[in-house]
Structures are given as structure tokens and as C-alpha cells.
């Protein structure tokens, strides 16, 4: 076990050292290249900052307004037919919107129901099998200036729904 800890601790410094050595061998100005990349990274952050603020504001409003509870009450008959536990619905609703909000909800679910319980297993599987769709699409499309996202959004949300339904089915079968 100690060798694994040593290797994992040494992995990042080793990769950095290999990159620097490669740059020196290829006679590139490694530090100047790093500074150019950092400058480009800051420009991207400045471009996407308004999008991030809007997403964080929307998620905060969703969580504090009680809209999630209203949505869950409206779709209650559907989730009963599909045998989806109502306890994971806040996670299922927030996961496509925000990673940090869904992580907070998943943490609450696991601390309340346990990691080995069916609900905890479903929550964990959903976190691993779905994406923060709106966040990702907003981030990448705003960074490159794409305005028409209709088809990407439909495909990504379909993948999220399938991931959630399969998570519930697999966890029910395995437990």
C-alpha cells in the first residue's frame, strides 16, 4: 500500500518534470510557453464568467425557492410508476444544471440514507453516470461563441435521462 501512495504522490511532479524536459530537449522556451497558456486561460475565464454567474444564480434560486419540491410533487405519479425513489429526485433535477449543487444534494442523501442503502447507491451511480449538461454546454458554447445549441441540448439531456433511469434499474437489480 505504501508503494501505491508513493507512486500517486510522485505522479504529478513526474509529469511536470517530463514536460519541462521535453520542452528543453525540443529547445522550446518552456516558461514563456507556460505564460502564454496561462494568459489564454485567463482570457477564457473572463469570457465565460458572466455565464457562470448566471448559472450559479439560477441554481441558488431553484434551491431556495421551493420549486424543486413543487416539481417533485407534480411528477410524483410518473416516478411511482417507474419505481424511482422520490428521495433522489432533487439530485436528478439538479444534476444537469450544477455539479456543486448536485454534489451537495448527493452528500445530503448519502449522509441521511447511507452509502450502502439503495437510495445512496442510486445517488452515487447517478453522480457517476450523468453530466452537468447545462453548465457544460453553456461553458463550452459561450467560450467559442456558438449560439445554436438546440440539438446538442436534446442529445445531452436524453443521455442524462437514460443515465438516471439505467442507474435506478441497475441499482435495483444489484441490490
How high is the pLDDT of residue 1?
62
How high is the pLDDT of residue 57?
81
* Separation between Cα atoms, residue 63 and residue 94, nearest integer Å: 9
Residue 157's domain spans which residues? Answer: 51-174
In a domain, 74, yes or no: yes
Contacts of 63 (CB under 8 A, 6+ apart): 94, 101
In a domain, 75, yes or no: yes
In a domain, 161, yes or no: yes
In a domain, 42, yes or no: no
Digit-coded pLDDT (tens) for 133-144? 887 888 788 777
Which of left, alpha, beta for 66 (phi over 0: left; psi -120 to 50: alpha)? left
Low-confidence ranges of the chain (pLDDT < 70): 1
Neighbours of 106 (CB within 10 A): 20
How high is the pLDDT of residue 89?
93
Tally of domains within the chain: 1
Environment class of residue 170 by beta-carbon count within 10 Å: exposed (0-12), middle (13-18) or buried (19+)? Answer: middle
* Separation between Cα atoms, residue 149 and residue 139, nearest integer Å: 12
How high is the pLDDT of residue 163?
93
In a domain, 103, yes or no: yes
Amino acid at each position: 500500500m505504501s508503494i501505491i501512495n508513493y507512486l500517486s504522490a510522485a505522479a504529478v511532479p513526474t509529469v511536470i518534470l517530463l514536460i519541462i524536459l521535453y520542452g528543453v530537449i525540443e529547445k522550446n522556451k518552456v516558461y514563456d510557453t507556460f505564460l502564454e497558456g496561462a494568459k489564454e486561460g485567463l482570457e477564457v475565464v473572463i469570457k465565460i464568467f458572466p455565464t457562470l454567474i448566471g448559472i450559479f444564480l439560477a441554481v441558488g434560486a431553484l434551491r431556495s425557492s421551493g420549486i424543486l419540491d413543487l416539481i417533485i410533487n407534480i411528477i410524483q405519479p410518473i416516478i411511482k410508476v417507474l419505481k424511482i425513489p422520490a428521495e433522489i429526485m432533487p439530485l436528478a433535477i439538479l444534476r444537469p444544471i450544477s455539479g456543486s449543487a448536485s454534489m451537495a444534494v448527493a452528500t445530503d442523501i448519502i449522509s441521511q440514507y447511507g452509502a450502502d442503502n439503495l437510495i445512496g447507491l442510486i445517488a452515487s451511480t447517478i453522480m457517476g453516470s450523468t453530466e452537468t449538461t447545462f453548465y457544460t454546454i453553456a461553458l463550452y458554447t459561450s467560450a467559442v461563441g456558438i449560439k445554436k445549441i438546440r440539438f446538442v441540448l436534446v442529445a445531452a439531456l436524453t443521455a442524462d435521462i437514460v443515465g438516471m433511469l439505467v442507474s435506478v434499474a441497475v441499482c435495483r437489480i444489484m441490490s
